């Protein structure tokens, strides 16, 4: 029972952290994009806001952009300083 209680506490903390991160993400007003300067492998899932894209082929130096609710692939764009900002306790490197 003690282990179950500990696990339930961990789950509760994780859910609270998820809510905190979602609130942070909703405050960001920049356009949704994910830049990958090196290789992106098949099986990787890209999440931008509520859209999800599972990668099926290799990509190298690309940026994934959210347009009209769909994630599209474009040439690599260097992230700006605003998009490197992250919630306290996290890094965006």
Domain ranges of the chain: 1-30, 31-79
* Residues 31-40: tens digit of each pLDDT: 678 899 999 9
* Residues 6-39: tens digit of each pLDDT: 999 999 999 999 999 888 877 765 567 889 999 9
Contact between 46 and 64 under an 8 Å Cβ cutoff? The reply is yes
Strand duo 70-75 + 59-67: pairing: antiparallel
Average pLDDT, the chain: 84
pTM comes to 0.58
- The torsion of the CA quartet 77, 38, 46, 89, rounded to 10 degrees, works out to -90
pLDDT above 90: residue 53: yes
- Segment 61-67 shows an average pLDDT of 92
């Amino acid at each position: 029972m003690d282990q179950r209680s500990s696990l339930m506490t961990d789950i509760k903390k994780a859910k609270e952290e998820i809510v905190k991160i979602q609130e942070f993400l909703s405050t960001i007003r920049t356009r949704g994009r994910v830049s990958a300067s090196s290789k992106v492998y098949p099986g990787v899932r890209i999440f931008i806001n509520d859209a999800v894209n599972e990668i099926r082929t290799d990509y190298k130096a690309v940026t994934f952009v959210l347009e009209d609710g769909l994630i599209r692939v474009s040439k690599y764009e260097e992230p700006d300083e605003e998009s490197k900002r992250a919630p306290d306790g996290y890094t965006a490197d």
